[in-house]
Amino acid sequence: MTKIEWTEATWNPTIGCTKLSDGCKNCYAEIMANRLKHMQNLDYKDGFKFKELENRLEQPLQNNKSTRYFVNSMSDLFHEDISYDFLDKVFDVIAKTPHHQYQILTKRDKKMFEYLKDKKLPDNVWLGVTVEDKESKYRIDTLKKINVKIRFLSCEPLLNDLEDLNLNDIHWVIAGGESGNRARVSKKKWFINIKNQCKKQNVAFFFKQWGTWGDDGIKRNKKINGNFLDGKTYLEYPQIN
Ligand code: SF4
């Protein structure tokens, strides 16, 4: 089980990461890793240091119930320190479990491309890049070069207006604001811009949450701020068949 609204479960064959771009500033995985370290969780004895965890590779193989997994809520699968050998093992598990769907989200578009460019990916892979601001839109072009059934964008935490988006060959866009005490403000017009472009270009749109700052620009509990955008919820998913 997970609290992440757009998935059903998380699978973390790697843990830990290194901050890379502005979206990483208040990284939730880092906060959680340090919390788990202080709770004496052995996997996190080195805090947020990147690690491959062989003993977690088997987890999806032991689950017979069809599940949509977010791969690495606590890391980035294409981190600089991951070996191709370990990536082979992760994708081998994915290929052996066609009853599951795997949502892989990265900010490391170059490494993802280098590893996947010549590979035939199974149909149960959803591949996504984070586009937290207009400066990171280049990741979309890299994603489009990979041959995969579902391509998606995560625009969270949204830090500025993404302006024009070419969503050709993109199947799903998730957007949301930042949570936590240090959260930065996302403006309503930035989300509306993404929502309108998804509608125009026939792309599924999922508005996850406002987070700490509401649509009126006031800071309050994220549960109260909710996930309404202009009076509606947008919880669409891409077609997978
Ligand atoms: S890439 Fe993701 S997991 Fe890694 S530091 Fe940035 S926000 Fe955290």
Ligand 1 atom showing the smallest separation from residue 72 Cα: 3
Note the pLDDT tens digit of each residue in 136-193.
999 999 999 999 999 999 999 999 999 999 999 999 999 999 999 999 999 999 999 9
Cβ atoms within 10 Å of 40's Cβ, excluding its own: 8
Q: 240: pLDDT confidence band, cut at 50, 70 and 90?
A: confident
Residue 27 Cβ inside 6 Å of ligand 1? The answer reads: yes
Distance 197 CA to ligand 1 centre (A): 27
Residue nearest to atom 5 of ligand 1 (CA): 19
Residue nearest to atom 7 of ligand 1 (CA): 24
| pLDDT reported for residue 1 | 61
Please give the model's pTM, rounded to 2 decimal places. Answer: 0.96
> What topology does CATH give the domain 9-225?
pyruvate-formate lyase- activating enzyme (3.80.30)
Strand partners, 229: 232
Note the pLDDT tens digit of each residue in 1-24.
678 889 999 999 999 999 999 999
What is the Cα–Cα distance from 200 to 68, expressed in whole angstroms?
27
Asked whether 44 and 36 are in contact (CB, 8 A), the reply is yes
Asked whether 156 and 175 are in contact (CB, 8 A), the reply is yes
Note the pLDDT tens digit of each residue in 36-92.
999 999 999 999 999 999 999 999 999 999 999 999 999 999 999 999 999 999 999
What is the Cα–Cα distance from 15 to 33, expressed in whole angstroms?
8
Asked whether 177 and 210 are in contact (CB, 8 A), the reply is yes
Ligand 1 atom showing the smallest separation from residue 23 Cα: 7
Helix (H) / strand (E) containing 22: none
Q: Is the pLDDT of residue 214 over 90?
A: yes
What is the Cα–Cα distance from 184 to 138, expressed in whole angstroms?
22
Distance 116 CA to ligand 1 centre (A): 20
Rg (CA), the chain: 17
Q: Where are the domains of the chain?
A: 9-225
